[in-house]
Amino acid sequence: MARLIVFMSDFGLRDPYVVQVKAVVRMICPGAEIVDLTHLIDSFCIECGSYVLDSSVDWFPSETVFLGVVDPGVGSERRPIIIRALSRWFVGPDNGLFTPIFLRDRSARAWVIRPWALPVKEISSTFHGRDIFGPAAALLSCGEEPGRIADEVSIDSLVRTELWWEERRGSSLCMRVIYIDKYGNIVLSRKKPLEMQLGGIINVESPGGLYRAVHVRSFSHVGEGELAIYTNSFGYIEIAVNKGDASKYLGVGVGDEVCLTPQ
């Protein structure tokens, strides 16, 4: 049976990009089932894609093939890669998108795809999701060995982002905003609980100003309109306003720095 393919991109749902990738996968590996992770990653936001992918990987079985296409450098020299990590497969551009995946597995391996080893007639310079990544994912889904279509390289040669960045400054812990969800909740660049007391007050310093929040288990533990900081259901530190939009409240966007100081 073909391996499940989980497909994430910033293609949007309006143009015929997603469907053409799916059509190519069907052609190359007819039995492959494709689950859409999301195609609404903010255009070109590599760290947004990393966060969404990292949050979802563990929920799928081993041998799943993750096809991840957030690829501002399409047509340039960035390499098309296959990664084996966490007992699963990952296919996409070598631009840091898979950083949280291979950093979580010391025995991760990587290959650079040889485009002309793929069963495609033509490779456009603007749509590698359809012409390179999709075909490679389809072959893996049907059980192909990565060595047949790609050359192994050192995992250390891969581009990596600072998705999990934090810096202590005196009693403050500074992180970056890596994602804003549909409710305006702010996800920070730390994937483990804060070493601060539950129930305690935390001062929040953002580009928009200074705020005070409560360190809680979930946003329903603060009053309406109040700021809460907690570990979200994917393991990341998150700031939310109960029944409100924290990103507007704090005036922050992806990439901004936020510093937390226990009071």
Give contact residues for a second copy (rule: CB under 8 A). Answer: 6, 11-16, 18-20, 22-24, 26-27, 35-41, 43, 52, 55-56, 59-61, 74-76, 124-127, 130, 181-183, 217-220, 232-234
User: Closest CB to a second copy among 52 and 178?
Assistant: 52
Residue 194 near residue 251, CB atoms below 8 Å: no
Minimum Å gap between C-beta 61 and a second copy is 7
- Distance, CA of 46 to CA of 218 (rounded, Å): 27
Minimum Å gap between C-beta 209 and a second copy is 26
Minimum Å gap between C-beta 137 and a second copy is 16
User: Closest CB to a second copy among 153 and 159?
Assistant: 159
Minimum Å gap between C-beta 217 and a second copy is 6
User: Closest CB to a second copy among 227 and 259?
Assistant: 227
User: Closest CB to a second copy among 18 and 252?
Assistant: 18
Amino acid at the residue 113 = I
Residue 104 near residue 110, CB atoms below 8 Å: no
Minimum Å gap between C-beta 11 and a second copy is 8
Residue 156 makes CB contacts below 8 A (sequence gap 6+) with none
The three-point CA angle 62-68-71 to 5° equals: 160
Amino acid at the residue 51 = Y
Residue 253 near residue 206, CB atoms below 8 Å: no
Residue 146 near residue 91, CB atoms below 8 Å: no
The length of the chain in residues reads 263
User: Closest CB to a second copy among 232 and 261?
Assistant: 232
